[in-house]
Amino acid sequence: EDQVTQSPEALRLQEGESSSLNCSYTVSGLRGLFWYRQDPGKGPEFLFTLYSAGEEKEKERLKATLTKKESFLHITAPKPEDSATYLCAVQGIREIKAAGNKLTFGGGTRVLVKP
Partner 1 sequence: EAGVAQSPRYKIIEKRQSVAFWCNPISGHATLYWYQQILGQGPKLLIQFQNNGVVDDSQLPKDRFSAERLKGVDSTLKIQPAKLEDSAVYLCASSYANLNTEAFFGQGTRLTVV
* Least Cβ distance, residue 15 to partner 1 (angstroms): 25
**C-alpha–C-alpha distance, residues 80 and 106, integer Å:** 23
Contact residue for partner 1 among 56, 102, 112, 114 (CB under 8 A): 102
- What CA–CA distances, in Å, run from 30 to 7, 51, 63, 75, 96? 20, 7, 20, 24, 15
Q: What share of the chain is helix, strand, coil (3-state, %, to 5)?
A: 5, 55, 35
State which of residues 27, 31, 74, 83 lies at the interface with partner 1 (CB under 8 A).
31
- Give the binding range for partner 1 (CB under 8 A) out of 14-22, 36-44, 53-61, 64-72: 36-44
List of residues contacting partner 1 (CB under 8 A): 4, 6, 31-32, 34, 36, 41-46, 49, 51, 87, 89, 91, 96-108
